[in-house]
Amino acid sequence: MISSNEIGVCRVGMEAGPKATLPALSVDFQSLIENRLKPAYKLTTQGKFVEAMAHFTGILLSIPFLIVNNKKEVSEVKDLLEIAVNYITGIRMELHRKTVTDPVRQAELAAFFTHCNLQQVHQILALRSAMTTAYKIQNHQHAGSFANRLLELDAPADVQTQVTFHLLNQIGQESFEIVRDQKHQHPCAQLR
């Protein structure tokens, strides 16, 4: 018969004494960055949103099991939590947008996605998608505002974005009412 282990797996050996021992870590911050966050960013860039969401959700589920030792680590974990929440919210909107058949609702969801706090490369992709979606329904002012935001980012500005911005601002008409208030922040932007 096998006897049960009376002492759990410890981070430090028993030489520190039974009261000074800490439980072993199953998740550490660096492994979350390397094994979850970086692959999630890569999957998002590739447009594999379902797989990316699984990684971001895994980060959320792992955070309660992290052990932090100082205020700097607490701040890093809070930042990681904010990143995961923003990406999950944005990806959910993008996945829903792909199932919607109403082009006006697609434009609204694309516009909402641009307000999530994303890495610059993903922000550029979201803005280009929103600009294209707004242009397809002939909402030229909205498409122009997305083109302007693209130009405001210090992203490599291509000629197409600059021409689109100038043309759409000259046309300046809207075919459909989009529920989007540029003066007030979207809930994703309030998470920052």
pLDDT tens per residue across span 122-178: 999 999 899 889 888 888 788 888 888 888 886 565 645 555 656 655 555 555 555
pLDDT of residue 146: 85
Per residue in 82-114, pLDDT (tens digit) is: 999 999 999 999 999 999 999 999 999 999 999
Where residue 153 falls (left for φ over 0; alpha for ψ -120 to 50; beta otherwise) is beta
pLDDT of residue 143: 83
- Write the DSSP string, 135-187: HHTT-HHHHHHHHHHHHHTTS---HHHHHHHHHHHHH---SS-----TTS--H
Average pLDDT over residues 49-69: 93
Average pLDDT over residues 13-42: 77
Full-model pTM: 0.75
Residue 59 has pLDDT above 60, yes or no: yes
Q: Determine phi and psi for 10, rounding to 5 degrees.
A: -120, 150
Please report, rounded to a whole number, the percentage of residues in the chain having pLDDT higher than 70: 66
Where residue 47 falls (left for φ over 0; alpha for ψ -120 to 50; beta otherwise) is left
